[in-house]
Structure 1
Amino acid sequence: MLELRGVTAGYGRTIVLDDVSVVVPTGDAVAVMGHNGAGKTTLLRVAVGLLPVRAGTVLLDGEDVTRLRPNARVRRGLGYVPQGQQCFPQMTTMENLQLITTSKAEIRGVLDTFPALTELLSRRAGLLSGGQRQQLAIARTLLTQPRMLILDEPTEGIQPNVVQEIEQVILGLTQRGDLSVLLVEQHVGFALRSTGSYYVLESGRITAQGEGGAGALDSVRAAMAV
């Protein structure tokens, strides 16, 4: 479980998050939605440890990790896929995966999750499509065997068929029961279909929250229209 409790954070004199609380239960997926500038990526940077809090607490599986560095949080089971389909472009798909592990069984496991990558193992990552690079970024993070997976705008700039594949991956991962997902996303339909609950973040504050699913679409759109 990941919990951000009463978090206030920002840059310089600017407060971006003001007393924000978000809970991601064990084995569940939670979406944080909002317009550009709402503070979504800042929230993730706090969760990962890339940005210190000015007030509040970050808990991972009940342990206070507020003062821990990002690498220490990773060792405790946190995995982070930042925005932008990040990879090492001059390396092949396989080489990108082998940066995390040389275990053939573990690599085979993530290729089962993203079978489209199997035909691309010898191709340089920089030559992959945006959707393929996003799948590679998520696969590489899954090789760290996280218990808490954080995804920042995973559908940005990728083709619709890959969006659907990533949606199915998120659902499949959480159905295992041992992995939680925190998803920041502007694609409202995708976010609600992929998660069990949601938060709407606007101007650094939580303005709405509830259960996910298609039935929440109108409520979320109304909250984001304010």
Structure 2
Amino acid sequence: MLTMTDVDVGYGRTSVIHGVTVAVPADGVVAVLGHNGAGKTTLLRAAVGLLPTRSGRILLDGEDVTGIPAHQRVRRGLAYVPQGQQSFGQLTTLENLQVVADTKRDGRARIDEALDLFPALKDLLGRRAGLLSGGQRQQLAIARALITQPRMLILDEPTEGIQPSVVAEIEEAILALTRRGGLSVLLVEQHVGFALDAAGHYYVLASGRVSAEGRGGTDSVTDVRSAMAI
């Protein structure tokens, strides 16, 4: 569904990503792990189209989107949930969802589907998003992205600063989505256990390069932690 091949990305004269190749299969979950400063968010921003690539290619469902702006990638089925539990703080939970749903013919049905994945939000529809907990805002951010019915969902640190019970709910929602089919997920995480539980394949980034990769699952936790310790 998404392939980034030999991608170089940077800011100004500073190179951050060096010749990285990452592939996300259809209906699959892939995790990118690494310490702060490894280049994980930069890689995602290039995938979404918020940063230009200096070299390499990006394919979305077989189509070369390397030079296509972010809004056109969204139209082709890509959704991005950035780091930081972002929401419109002065709007209610429901209004945050309606911002996206009102552009869709079946918007109410899409809101209902998103709420079925995150039922904790159903009792918070009238509450301003700025008053929600970090975990609730993260669920809201993911639910809002899902209303676009993407084929490719990109999540940047979805469990950062969130209590373990909500981490489990987010993981279950991601797995439920991929079990349905029709959705691929690229997940950037520092929470190794969560990432490997959810992912079928992982990549470890260090100093902007892939330092290790392998199959997901809890059996890989030791290998990943060893790779991140180098």
Contact 1:93 1:125 in 2 (8 A): yes
**Can you list the C-alpha shifts for 1:139-182, whole angstroms capped at 9, x where unaligned?**
00000110000000000011110000001011111111210000
1:32 aligns with 2:32: yes
State the secondary structure of the residue aligned to 2:143: helix
Question: Partners in 1 of 2:93 and 2:208 — Cα distance?
Answer: 37
Q: How many residues align?
A: 226
Q: 5+ residue gaps in structure 1?
A: none
**Can you list the C-alpha shifts for 1:51-110, whole angstroms capped at 9, x where unaligned?**
000000010000000001000000000000000000000000000000011422111111
TM-score, normalised with respect to structure 2 = 0.97
State the secondary structure of the residue aligned to 1:99: helix
Which residue is equivalent to 1:153? Answer: 157
List aligned pairs for 1:1-226, cutoff 5 A.
Answer: 1-102=1-102, 103-226=107-230
Question: Partners in 1 of 2:131 and 2:95 — Cα distance?
Answer: 14
- Give 1:122 shift: 0.2
- Give 1:19 shift: 0.3
**Can you list the C-alpha shifts for 1:198-224, whole angstroms capped at 9, x where unaligned?**
000000100100000000001001100
Question: Partners in 2 of 1:168 and 1:195 — Cα distance?
Answer: 12
State the secondary structure of the residue aligned to 2:46: helix
Moved over 6 A (4+): none
Question: Partners in 1 of 2:162 and 2:86 — Cα distance?
Answer: 13
Letter paired with 1:171: L
State the secondary structure of the residue aligned to 1:74: helix
Question: Partners in 2 of 1:54 and 1:179 — Cα distance?
Answer: 28
- Give 1:13 shift: 1.3
- TM-align CA RMSD: 0.6
Question: Partners in 2 of 1:171 and 1:26 — Cα distance?
Answer: 14
Q: What is the percentage of aligned positions where both structures have the same residue? A: 68
